[in-house]
Structure 1
Amino acid sequence: MLFAEFSDVADEQDADAVLSLLGDEYVREILAAASREPHSASDLSEVCDASLSTVYRRVDDLLEHDLLVESTRIDADGTHVSVYETAVEGFHVGLADGELRLDLDLLDDPAQRFAQIWEGIKNS
């Protein structure tokens, strides 16, 4: 498990963005569903009772902040489908010395690390 802590100015902006994301009901539902097993966007749309476009917007936001990991599933008919898994084990919000603090417990799964590296290679 990797422990991420937001402490400098840029990280504070990330912490604000993550806290804002967590305030969204669909984001919480996506994270919860994706923590049980990988889901495609259409699966998440059904689970969250949200439009596909809403799910894709939330997934993009979660991927941007490394809270989800995207991988490819090959179905029995040979089609390729992107699926998403939660990359976070826990969130901790606290107050210390007059500052609000967000700590993330990130899953340190080798398959997830490989997926992230591969996405970086594909997108470069």
Structure 2
Amino acid sequence: MDEQPRTVEEVLDTIGDGRARDVLAAVATEARSAKELAEACDMSLPTVYRRLEVLQEHELVSERTAVADDGNHYNVYTCNFDSTVIKLDDDGYDVRIYRKENAPDRFTQLWDDLAGE
């Protein structure tokens, strides 16, 4: 199945949602379950799941399975990027999402970005 690439506007709308930003902030430093997110963000579980769905569509959060001490499985979510930069110029704007990667890759990306200016 072919997926349409997400437009800049869709990503900005997602990040512009205060509840989505709260979820992102809550998973920025540690993986959390939806239940933990609901408690940390003071949201209902359905609201958390709706925000997680949209954030996953835009590849801003990742989901993985964790195993509890009792052997039960559950999903936890983590932030899937380091930063977002919005660049404004005469032609409009550009949004760049910097994904989590190792330092040499980040340096190469930074160098390429500077060379393109």
TM-score bracket, normalised by the shorter chain, equals: 0.7 to 0.9
**1:40 aligns with one of 33, 57, 65:** 33
**2:46 aligns with one of 41, 48, 53:** 53
Percent of aligned pairs with the same amino acid: 35
**2:23 aligns with one of 30, 38, 44:** 30
Q: Match of 2:66, as an amino acid?
A: R
**1:82 aligns with one of 65, 69, 75:** 75
| Greater C-alpha radius of gyration | 2
| TM-score when normalising by structure 1 | 0.75
Q: Match of 1:46, as an amino acid?
A: E
Give the 4+ runs in structure 1 shifted more than 3 A. Answer: none
- In 2, the alpha carbon distance for the partners of 1:24 and 1:90 equals 16
- Corresponding residue number in structure 2 for 1:96: 89
Gaps (5+ residues) in structure 1?
A: 1-9, 110-124
Gaps (5+ residues) in structure 2?
A: 103-117
Query: Residues 5-63 of structure 1, C-alpha deviation per residue, up to 9 Å, x if partnerless?
Result: xxxxx75x521111001111111111111111000001000111111001000000011
Is 1:105 the counterpart of 2:83? The answer is no
RMSD after superposition: 1.5
Offset of residue 100 of structure 1 = 1.1
Aligned residues: 99
- In 2, the alpha carbon distance for the partners of 1:25 and 1:79 equals 32
